[in-house]
Amino acid sequence: MKPMAHTTTIIVALLAAGVVGLIGCSNSSGPSASDYVNPTSPENVLLNLERAYGERDVSEYLDCLSEDFKFHFTEEDQQGWPQLPPWFYKSDEQQVHENMFGDEWDVESITLTLTVASVETIPGGDLRVPTRDVVRVRVLTDLRIDLSGNLTYLATNPQNFYFREVVGSRELHGRILWEISEWEDAEGWDAGARVEDAAGWGGIKYCFLESLSETSRRTSPAEVIDQLEAAYVAVDSLSYLDCLSEDFQFFPCEEDVQNPELDIPPVWYKPDERTMHGNMFDEGSCVESISLILTTTEVVHDTGADPEDPLDDTYVHTEDVYFLMNLLNGDAFIVTAPSGFHLRVDPDEEGPYGETMWEIYEWYDLASEGRGDVSGHREWTTWGGVKAMFR
C-alpha cells in the first residue's frame, strides 16, 4: 500500500466533497502549535491520535480513549501468539505506549498517517453499545516505527474505530464530545521494510507489552478456554483456578477410574485442583515446561429455563487437546484425548468494566483408551492421569 501524506487535507477534502461524512463537525481552526483540537467530532479524535503518535505523547493518546476502551486483535494475531488476549484494555494501552513513546526501547522516530475511508452510524441497541448510537469509522493506515539497528515496524492494514459520545461530560460550546470506545485491527498487513515480531498495528503493540494488566478476561466461554490454556503454558495456578467455579467438578475418564493401579476417584473438586496445580506449577516442581494447544471442535449452547435470559445460559465446549509436559529428569507426558468443558455465567464476579464473566463448572476427560503406551521417555496418558500424579 502506498504511504499517504497530508492526512488532514485529505480528511477535510473528503468531508467537503460528501464522499464520507462524520457525525459532528470539525474544529476548523485545527491544532495550534501547542494545543490539540477539541474532541467535538470523531475526525478530531483521529487527528489528536495521529498527532499524539507523532509527538510520542502518552497522555494525549490516552485522552482519545474511553475508560472502558478495548482494542481487538485480529484472529491472525491470536493464532500466531496463543498467549495474546482477545483485546487490550486501556491500562494495557497505557503500558504499551509508555514503552513505545519512551526513551528506553530504542525507538528513534514514529510517523503515522490516518485517512478516513468510510463512516457508518450504528443505531443504539447494537450489542456493542446497547443504549447509544456509535459511529464506526474505517481508516486507512500508514504507521512506521523506526528503531535503532536499522529495524522498522510497518503497519498499513485498515483499522475500524468505534466512536461514541462522552457520557457525563459537559458539552463544549453546545457541541458533543467524542471518544473511541472500541478499536479493531481490521485485516492483513504489508511490510515494506525489515519487520520483526510484528503483524499489523496489533502485533506492533504486542511487541511493546511487558505484562497484561488484567489477568482475568473471562467475558465469554471461549475466553475462559483461552485463559486456561495460557495459564498452563505460563504455569500460573492462580490464573488457572480463576477459570473454575467454586463448586467445580472434574470427571476423569472411566478407564482411569477403573484401573486399580492409578487409584483415581470418579470425581474431584476445586480444592483438589488447587493442591494438584500448586504442586505441578510450584518453582520446586519436577516440571520443566508445559505446552498446551486446545482446539474447539464443537460448541453446544443451552438457553436454559428462560431463553430470554442470557444469565442462565450454559455452553459445552469440546476441545481437541495437545498437551506436553517435560520433566527435569528428561521424561515427558503427552495427552491427546479430548476434553469437554461445561461453562456458565459466574454469579460472583464481574469484569473490570461490569462485563458478564464466565466459568467452568464441570470438566470431563473424554479419553476412550486408558493411559496409552509408553515409548522411550514419553508416555501417552490422560489429563486426569497427569493431574493425579501431583495429588
Q: Is the pLDDT of residue 136 over 90?
A: yes
Quickly state the pLDDT bin for 309 (edges 50, 70, 90): confident
Quickly state the pLDDT bin for 372 (edges 50, 70, 90): very low
Q: Give the closest residue to 118 by CA, choosing from 135, 131, 130.
A: 135
Q: Is the pLDDT of residue 119 over 90?
A: yes
Quickly state the pLDDT bin for 131 (edges 50, 70, 90): very low
Q: Do the bridges between strand 314-327 and strand 178-185 make them parallel or antiparallel, or are there none, so unpaired? A: unpaired
Averaged pLDDT for residues 103-122:
94
**Exposed/middle/buried for residue 76 (C-beta within 10 Å: 0-12, 13-18, 19+):** middle
For residue 189, the model assigns a pLDDT of 40
Instruction: Enumerate the β-bridge partners of residue 292.
Output: 323
Q: Do domains 7-207 and 221-388 have the same CATH topology?
A: yes
| Strand extents, DSSP E, 39-158 | 65-72, 87-89, 107-122, 134-147, 151-155
For residue 194, the model assigns a pLDDT of 43
Residue 164, H or E segment: strand 159-165
Q: Is the pLDDT of residue 174 over 90?
A: no
For residue 160, the model assigns a pLDDT of 95
For residue 219, the model assigns a pLDDT of 83
Is the domain spanning 221-388 CATH 3.40.50.2300? The answer is no
Q: Do the bridges between strand 151-155 and strand 107-122 make them parallel or antiparallel, or are there none, so unpaired? A: unpaired
Q: Distance between CA 61 and CA 48 in Å, rounded? A: 7
For residue 310, the model assigns a pLDDT of 83
The Cβ-side half-sphere exposure at 297, using a 13 Å CA radius, reads: 10
Q: What are phi and psi of 283, to 5 degrees?
A: -60, -30
For residue 126, the model assigns a pLDDT of 44
> Could you report the per-residue pLDDT of 319-347, keeping only the tens digit for each?
999 999 999 999 999 999 999 999 999 99
For residue 24, the model assigns a pLDDT of 34
Q: Is the pLDDT of residue 273 over 60?
A: yes
**Domain residue spans of the chain:** 7-207, 221-388
DSSP character string of 224-239: HHHHHHHHHHTT-HHH
Q: Do the bridges between strand 134-147 and strand 151-155 make them parallel or antiparallel, or are there none, so unpaired? A: antiparallel
pTM above 0.85, yes or no: no
Better-scored residue on pLDDT, 267 or 31: 267
For residue 353, the model assigns a pLDDT of 61
Domain boundaries 7-207, CATH class? alpha beta
For residue 87, the model assigns a pLDDT of 82
Q: Distance between CA 178 and CA 38 in Å, rounded? A: 9
Averaged pLDDT for residues 202-225:
84
